[in-house]
Amino acid sequence: MTDGYGREIDYLRISLTDKCNLRCSYCMPREGIRHIEHKDILTLEETGRLAHIMSELGINRVRLTGGEPLVRRGVTDLIRILRAECGLNEISMTSNGLLLAECAGELYDAGLTDINISLDTLREECFSYITGYDGRGLKCVLDGIDSAIEAGLRIKLNCVLMKGINEEDIIPLTEYAADKEVRIRFIELMPIGCAGRFERISTDDLIGRLEEKYGLPTPVPDSMKAYDKGPAEYYTFQEYSGQIGFISPISHKFCDSCRRVRLTAEGFLKLCLQYPDGVDLKTPMRSGVKDEELKKLMIDAVRGKPAAHSFDTSRGNTDKRRMVEIGG
């Protein structure tokens, strides 16, 4: 599928649920949200069918997200469906890692290849502060990371920084990543929903701080990014053993090279993170239309994919959906 600006669309993010076992303050309000009714959530078979149709239209990478994808019952069955029916050989997931220790092996056996685990701090009290989770949540996440490594999954860590909240975790997190021999990426905070009350740390600022600790930064050419085909820019530092990634949707906008669309848990094909544009696929699917008609809906919608977000200038016609309902 090609959009109206000539961009090839080959990457689909599928949100499996708008439920989550955490309440990260930049993503989900503390009081929670009004969840999609069970009957309105796509079944695993419906999700598989839409993914299959999209794979025929050129989607070759799928990422499962949420809410928290691991709270969705049957997630391993869906991975198997995607693997068997859509011919996808790259199936990834973004997870908060809380439940990962119990299921990493099962996910790998089902056919998951990659997992990005969100890790914003290495301090248990800060973890509770950010996520609203009482108890030893961080310990569970760290155990989950170990299990994922052991299971053979390819791992990346994702960290969202907020001024005055987890700045002091920057170096401990990069050290942790080096120690585990995994890549860490810092994602600039985006002003969606409740994130607006926090102050972002820009990538340039962050690279400056890392330079103070690790010496001269050198950008890694795209050809050396290995398995990461996403928008992260990687740097090596003179005195750091691995690569550190930066995803900078605000300070270094990458919309020109955007290749992604999103499917919400209720079957809405969403074209851009910011805007509400897209098409409802669930209603026509449940009314019995054929694959060819769904294909046409998808192709027509993709042609209308917005050129770029405008988080950096105005809030514009921003979607009312929160991050937890979109999946990042």
Residue numbers of the site for ligand SAM (CB under 6 A)?
20, 26-27, 65-66, 68, 94-96, 118, 158, 160, 187, 189-190, 192, 195, 323-324, 327-328
Kindly tell me which of 66 and 267 has the beta carbon lying closer to ligand SAM: 66
Cβ neighbours of residue 13 closer than 8 Å, sequence gap 6 or more: 62, 63, 65, 260, 261, 262, 263, 327, 328
Residue pair 287/38 in contact by the 8 Å Cβ criterion: no
Q: Which is nearer to ligand SF4, 93 or 269 (CB)?
A: 93
The interface partner of residue 195, options being ligand SAM, ligand SF4, none and the CB cut-off 5 to 8 Å by kind, is ligand SAM
Q: Rule CB under 6 A: is residue 44 a binding residue for ligand SF4? A: no
Closest listed residue to residue 162, CA positions, set 114, 127, 124, 195: 195
Residue 18 interacting with ligand SF4 (CB under 6 A): no
Question: In angstroms, what is the C-alpha Rg of the chain?
Answer: 19
Judged by CB under 6 A, does residue 189 bind ligand SF4? no
CB 137 within 8 A of CB 128: yes
Which residue lies nearer to ligand SAM by CB, 195 or 258? 195
Closest CA to 117 of 22, 36, 43, 200: 22
CA proximity to 79, closest of 127, 47, 54: 47
Q: Which does 158 bind (CB under 5 to 8 A by kind): ligand SAM, ligand SF4, none?
A: ligand SAM
Q: Beta partners for 246?
A: 186, 233
| 194 is a contact residue toward ligand SF4 (CB under 6 A) | no
Which one of ligand SF4, ligand SAM, none is in contact with 130 (Cβ closer than 5 to 8 A by kind)?
Answer: none
DSSP state letter for 16: -
CA distances in angstroms from 313 to 40, 192, 250, 316, 317, listed in the order given: 34, 13, 9, 8, 12
Amino acid at 93: M
Site string for ligand SF4, 246-285 (x = CB under 6 A): ----------------------------------------
x/- binding map, residues 279-318, to ligand SF4, per CB under 6 A? ----------------------------------------
Q: Taking the alpha carbons of 88, 90, 96, 102 in that order, is the dihedral positive or negative?
A: positive
Q: Which stretch binds ligand SF4 (CB under 6 A): 61-69, 74-82, 168-176, 310-318?
A: 61-69
Find the part of the chain contacting ligand SF4 (CB under 6 A) among 8-16, 60-68, 210-218, 257-265. 60-68
Question: What does the per-residue mask of binding to ligand SF4 show for 71-110, with x meaning CB under 6 A?
Answer: -------------------------x--------------
Residue 66 in contact with ligand SF4, rule: CB under 6 A = yes
187 or 207: CB nearest ligand SF4: 187
CA 274 to the chain's CA centroid: 14
The yes or no reply on residue 141 touching ligand SF4 (CB under 6 A) is no
Q: What is the DSSP string of 133-181?
A: --SSHHHHHHHHHHHHHHHT-EEEEEEE-BTTTSGGGHHHHHHHHHHHT
CA distance 147 to 153: 9
324 binding ligand SF4? (CB under 6 A): yes
* Residues lying near ligand SF4 in the complex (CB under 6 A): 20, 22-24, 27-28, 66-68, 96, 118, 323-324
